[in-house]
Amino acid sequence: MNDNKDINTLKVILLQKKGGKTTARIIEKILVRPYNPNQIANILDISYNTAYYHMQIMLKHNLIEKKNTEYGSIYEATPKLINESEAFYKLKKLI
């Protein structure tokens, strides 16, 4: 994610979308370890639908990836997001 296009994607998702703050909260958690939408919803005290919606946006933009396990699906940060975590934390301060 070391090019301007990828950083611009983060800017749009975090700063120009209505739910940027929620997306940022989810990214913060997923940068630490993988979660499923239900776990994110419980941790952040948001609805499952909200967590799922934001995670689908991040999945669409290749910020997270879905992994199937014997207990269901989890989502983890992609190398693209991990490489730009410093830019993420700078953008988060602007929300």
Is the pLDDT at 1 greater than 50? The verdict is no
Q: 75: Cβ–Cβ under 8 A, 6 or more apart, which residues?
A: 30, 34, 35, 36, 37, 55, 58, 59, 64, 65, 66, 67
What are the pLDDT digits (tens) for 31-88? 999 999 999 999 999 999 999 999 999 999 999 999 998 888 999 999 999 999 999 9
Sign of CA dihedral 50, 67, 63, 35: positive
Q: How far apart are CA 86 and CA 66, in angstroms?
A: 23
pLDDT at 85: 92
CB 50 within 8 A of CB 22: yes
